[in-house]
Amino acid sequence: MEPLDSLTWHIVEQPGFVETGRRSYESDELRFFASMEEAATASTPDIILFSGVLQYLDNPYEILERAKKLGAETVFVDRNPKSEVIEDKYTLQYVPGGTFTARLPFRIFGKQKLEEALSPEYILRGNFASVDPDMTAGGMPVSFLGSLFTASDGPQQP
């Protein structure tokens, strides 16, 4: 594996975070954007990373459709709750006091939903355990996984 000559991160976030990021942290290597499409106008992404976010979005499948159109070689989904049932399930996540107190809607993805959503443009190359511990929701076992997908017309190594 060859070392990288350079690395540029394009962070897509909520408007307040984008404003703070641009004002306080932005550099040639680190930039902040309000949408994936805006970030892709600066340069076509090599990798799109979703880390601990899809389960909180109103429509993660729409986001994945938009991501597919950007043409990245790799899509990496990490810290994603998955169950062995076919369909997505929903629950509430209770965040105890401390930094903030919240009750958030939380999606648990059905066992093949991400693969189906990214197909046929992307092929699942592997799943791995995430840093988040497994849990039970409504008596259903839930695993937090990372998944690596590559473009179906890209390199075919696992």
The string of pLDDT tens digits covering residues 39-79 is 999 888 999 999 999 999 999 999 999 999 999 999 999 99
Long-range contacts of 11-15 (CB under 8 A, 24+ apart): 11/39, 12/36, 12/38, 12/39
8 Å CB contact between 138 and 59? no
- Does residue 123 lie in a domain region? yes
Q: Give mean pLDDT, residues 6-35.
A: 96
Structural domain includes residue 84: yes
Is 32 a domain residue? no
CATH of the domain at 64: 3.40.50.150
Q: What is the amino acid identity at position 115?
A: E
Structural domain of 135: 44-151
CB 98 within 8 A of CB 79: no
14 within domain boundaries? no
- Over the stretch 72-123, which tens digit does the pLDDT of each residue have? 999 999 999 999 999 999 999 888 877 788 888 999 999 899 999 999 999 9
Please give the single-letter amino acid code of residue 112. Q
Quick check: 154 pLDDT over 60?
no
Cβ–Cβ under 8 Å, residues 9 and 32: no
Residues 6+ apart with CB under 8 A from 81: 55, 106, 107, 108, 109, 132, 135, 142, 143, 144
Whether 10 is in a domain gets the answer no
Distance CA 119, CA 65 (A): 10
Answer yes or no: is 8 within a domain.
no
How many structural domains compose the chain? Answer: 1
